[in-house]
Amino acid sequence: MNFQKYCDSIQDGQKIKSEKTLLLTYTNSKNEAFSISPESIRVFLLFLLNNFDLVISSWEKVSTRKEHIYQYEEKSYREIYKSASDEELKIISSAGRSQTKALTKLIAKLIGFLSRKNYESPEKNTFFDKDYIKVALENWDDIVVITPSKSGVINNDNIKESFRIWMIKNGLSERTASSYSETGITFCNKYLASTNINAVNLYRLNHKQVLNSLNELNKINDWLQADKNGNSMYSGACKKLAEFLKYKNNTTLSSLPKPFLLLAGISGTGKTRFVREQAKSTGQFNETYCLTSVRPDWHEPSDLLGYISRLSSSGQAEYITTDVLQFIAKAWRAIADSSLTIDVQNSDDQGERLVVSGDRSTLQAVLPYWLCLDEMNLAPVEQYFADYLSVLETREWDWDGDTFIYSSDALLKPATINAVADTDKLRADLGFELPDYDELWELICQHGLAIPFNLIVAGTVNMDETTHGFSRKVIDRALSFDFGEFFPNDYDSFFAPASHNKPLSYPIWSQARKDDLTNTYDVDGSQTLAFLSAVNTALKTTPFELAYRALNELLLAVVSNQPQDELTLKAVWDDFMMCKVLPRIEGDSDKLRTATGENLLAELNKVLSVQLSPIWNAEQDNNQVSQRPDLYRERNVSEGVSEEDKVLHIACRTKYKLAWMKQRLDSATFTSFWP
């Protein structure tokens, strides 16, 4: 249930609308409508929590007050609102006689919704209580009541919220961040019309335009005096906004070649945290992140994606959804909320499929959604993940210049959906109940629920006596990361990290074409083709030989990273060996013997020493001229440095990993990639 439905379920005559806008509109007893931003209420709740003694004093001034502060009485509550007299709380403190009770009802309903309590009436319980307010603030992100605009353009309020979150992440207090993003920018916008800047809202400008606007605002005496009286609050808000917009424009997401990751490593290396941080980089963490703990008793796809049950009281078929299926539906809603087109397409080889189409710029505005399967191999992945693995390979991207068409087979088949007695309940469980999703739901009923292109599945993996290994079917469909090698723990830089992880995004290709390589260092793919041929020669006659899928995915890795020099191209090859080739190799000396009688690891060592030259002999902390760039991390550097200075140089990963696997084989007579 969202906040709108919560309010609709309360039959007290008050009308509240929260679906179509980031303003909450509410009515008083005369049916007069007023509007307020959720952020204003949030700032007020913070004020209540941090100044509760002051609030109590204001309430006690009124002799006719109720017995408890959480019971509404008009005069005493007017005094509470007046106590919030700071600049950023004026919208609360100025609530007049006709608004006092209406506003109280709205705030009480909001606290009740966020603290999971039933609202009755303000006279009985407004929830103006420290404990309830604290819980409401902790659950604040649950007030996701907004249906984003179908224009695909990020609206001012989304930018404002991302700006606020960014400031908090960069050390500002929640109070200051809220003041800057709400009151600070709003106040500046009032004076923009008096300047030479052709704009009405700072949130619609780039960082240079914001700084130019600040220069113009400094010429206005009233604004300048207000800024001086407010301890530079308004100029500070502009400077921070410019800094945020510059950061936002310089932060580009790197496309992954596959949307399925296996993060392997010893416990405590930060695998789950890595996925969380990737979701946080979207600026909408609670919307774009889902953590599911895999249970050891999972043995079939229904454990992950749900199933039909006839155990309801009516005995009729009912679909039992899971948090994973609901998250997949949420990713589809994000696509529907953009201006991309969702339709159906008929092809000779695949029949009718749900397709998404649009242009590249609109596509880039769709955020990646991160599903983290924690301890993924506690259960046999080949069993509970079988359906997803099969459908994963049916994803198709078709590019024609700057426009694309994406399609995928269905995870939840239309026959399954239509076998359910109450499809309205299933629709509500999956979050498609709003009228905006009528067309999408109809298409899903006809063609099934497919894998959305913006979904990335990341499974965390530990290899010990409690877990299961991976078949090559799973490994071939994933990018396997030895977490300790790609994202090593450095104790010496624990308090002041020297690097940070790059934000990653979903792939936008499924098949590499020659034209896609034109702007890379390997303009026609011939170098990459020769590299993989050399590697596959060493793998011949072993169970680890590579097929066409491997070549396509290596070319996709080149396309995704767009290498512009030899070292970067070799870095792509190096990471491909680590993510796709070495994870397949395991066994004893007999299994790892080639047709010529050579040890496979030794044979690969010979081949790669040539193919990955010059990065093969570049040691860590040595001459950076021959070291390869890290494609997943970059250096922490000060503002204004060149892109080249951000590059983190590292030694060849595959050389070290092969040596580690060979040493393990020699000492234990068995080896594998997995730590």
Better-predicted residue by pLDDT, 344 or 15: 344
pTM: 0.67
Which letter does DSSP use for residue 11 in this model? -
| 504 domain-assigned | no
* Residues contacting 598, CB < 8 A, separation 6+: none
Query: Do 237 and 271 share a structural domain?
Result: no
Q: What are phi and psi of 322, to 5 degrees?
A: -125, 170
Per-residue pLDDT, averaged over 395-424, amounts to 93
pLDDT at 284: 83
Question: What CATH number is attached to the domain comprising 449?
Answer: 3.40.50
Which letter does DSSP use for residue 593 in this model? B
| 410 domain-assigned | yes
pLDDT at 533: 97
Per-residue pLDDT, averaged over 278-291, amounts to 90
Query: Do 416 and 290 share a structural domain?
Result: yes
Better-predicted residue by pLDDT, 357 or 645: 357
pLDDT at 156 over 60: no
pLDDT at 639: 57
Residue 248: pLDDT band (50, 70, 90) is low
pLDDT at 638: 67
pLDDT at 387 over 90: yes
% pLDDT > 90, the chain: 54
pLDDT at 147: 35
| 162 domain-assigned | yes
Residue 621: pLDDT band (50, 70, 90) is very low
Query: Do 176 and 63 share a structural domain?
Result: no
| 149 domain-assigned | no
Residue 146: pLDDT band (50, 70, 90) is very low
Which letter does DSSP use for residue 368 in this model? P
| Interhelix angle 38-50/52-60, nearest 10 degrees | 90
- The answer to whether the CB of 463 falls within 8 A of the CB of 674 is yes
Better-predicted residue by pLDDT, 122 or 40: 122
3-state class of 500 per DSSP? strand
Residue 200: pLDDT band (50, 70, 90) is confident
pLDDT at 221 over 50: yes
* Domain boundary residue, one of 499, 522, 556: 499
* Domain boundary residue, one of 80, 111, 142: 142
Per-residue pLDDT, averaged over 614-636, amounts to 81
| 356 domain-assigned | yes
**How far, in Å, CA of 516 to CA of 522, rounded?**
10
| 411 domain-assigned | yes
Query: Do 243 and 119 share a structural domain?
Result: no
pLDDT at 86: 62
Query: Do 413 and 286 share a structural domain?
Result: yes
| 433 domain-assigned | yes
Per-residue pLDDT, averaged over 53-76, amounts to 90
Query: Do 473 and 330 share a structural domain?
Result: yes
Q: Which long-range contacts (CB under 8 A, 24 or more apart) does 373-376 make?
A: 373/292, 373/294, 373/457, 373/458, 373/459, 373/460, 374/272, 374/291, 374/292, 374/293, 374/294, 374/460, 375/293, 375/294, 375/460, 375/461, 375/462, 375/467, 376/262, 376/294, 376/459, 376/460, 376/461
Residue 21: pLDDT band (50, 70, 90) is very low
Better-predicted residue by pLDDT, 199 or 510: 510
Instruction: Name which of 26-35, 351-360, 653-662 the model is least confident about.
Output: 26-35
Closest alpha carbon to 357 in 339, 330, 333: 339
Domain that holds residue 192: 156-250
Per-residue pLDDT, averaged over 194-198, amounts to 77
Better-predicted residue by pLDDT, 412 or 33: 412
Better-predicted residue by pLDDT, 8 or 628: 628
**How far, in Å, CA of 442 to CA of 444, rounded?**
5
Query: Do 304 and 409 share a structural domain?
Result: yes
User: Could you report the per-residue pLDDT of 294-348, keeping only the tens digit for each?
Assistant: 999 999 999 999 999 988 777 789 999 999 999 999 999 999 988 799 999 887 6
Query: Do 226 and 178 share a structural domain?
Result: yes
**How far, in Å, CA of 195 to CA of 453, rounded?**
44
Closest alpha carbon to 575 in 600, 592, 558, 551: 558
DSSP of 278-307, one letter per residue?
HHHTTT-HHHHEEEEEPPTT--STHHHH-E
CA atoms within 13 A on the CB side of 194: 14
User: Could you report the per-residue pLDDT of 416-446, keeping only the tens digit for each?
Assistant: 999 999 999 999 999 999 988 999 999 999 9
Query: Do 332 and 236 share a structural domain?
Result: no
Residue 10: pLDDT band (50, 70, 90) is confident
- How many domains is the chain built from? 4
Per-residue pLDDT, averaged over 522-529, amounts to 95
- The answer to whether the CB of 582 falls within 8 A of the CB of 661 is yes
3-state class of 178 per DSSP? helix
Query: Do 303 and 263 share a structural domain?
Result: yes
Per-residue pLDDT, averaged over 114-137, amounts to 87
* Domain boundary residue, one of 472, 499, 526: 499
Per-residue pLDDT, averaged over 546-559, amounts to 95
Highest mean predicted confidence (pLDDT) among 24-33, 356-365, 439-448:
439-448
pLDDT at 88: 52
Query: Do 636 and 532 share a structural domain?
Result: yes
Per-residue pLDDT, averaged over 513-519, amounts to 89
3-state class of 631 per DSSP? strand
Name the maximum alpha-carbon separation found in the chain.
Answer: 98
**How far, in Å, CA of 222 to CA of 667, rounded?**
78
| 93 domain-assigned | yes
pLDDT at 87: 56
What are the C-alpha distances in Å from 399 to residues 365, 404, 408, 515, 553?
17, 4, 15, 11, 17
Amino acid making up residue 116: R
Query: Do 180 and 47 share a structural domain?
Result: no
Strand 307-309 versus strand 647-650 pairing type = unpaired
**How far, in Å, CA of 419 to CA of 358, rounded?**
33
Average pLDDT, the chain: 87
